[in-house]
Amino acid sequence: MTLEEYYKHYLSLHQNKWCRRLHALGQLMTILFMATAIVKGFYLLLFLSPFVVYPFAWSGHYFFEKNQPAAFTHPICAKVCDWMMLRDIIKGKIKW
């Protein structure tokens, strides 16, 4: 499966606007976390940055989508698609 094919599947798991909003919030918090770690000089905390989004994203799946997060089965592809979805939200391709 190509990344584009997987992204289509990933988007099918994110049809609820509140789930997408929580994902976007989680991604923005990841950026804030990383920036803070760099500014404060806590570089080892950068290893935790891939996990910042999970409480936001997983609560979106649990409370709104009622499905299993893609990260449970394809964590790396799901992480890449998190950023792709944020990009598409920012560009206005996906409503949030």
Residue 76's pLDDT is: 95
Phi, psi of 94 (to 5 degrees): -125, 130
Q: How many C-beta neighbours within 10 Å does residue 35 have?
A: 10
Whether 16 is covered by a domain: the verdict is yes
Whether 68 is covered by a domain: the verdict is yes
Asked if 83 and 27 touch (Cβ cutoff 8 Å), the reply is yes
Whether 17 is covered by a domain: the verdict is yes
Q: What is the pLDDT of residues 33-77, one digit of tens each?
A: 999 999 999 999 999 999 999 999 999 999 999 999 999 999 999
Residue 96's pLDDT is: 81
Q: What is the pLDDT of residues 63-75, one digit of tens each?
A: 999 999 999 999 9
Residue 87 has pLDDT above 90, yes or no: yes
81: containing domain = 3-90
Q: What is the pLDDT of residues 1-43, one digit of tens each?
A: 999 999 999 999 999 999 999 999 999 999 999 999 999 999 9
Number of structural domains (the chain) is: 1
Whether 95 is covered by a domain: the verdict is no
Whether 73 is covered by a domain: the verdict is yes
- State pTM to two decimals: 0.92
Whether 12 is covered by a domain: the verdict is yes
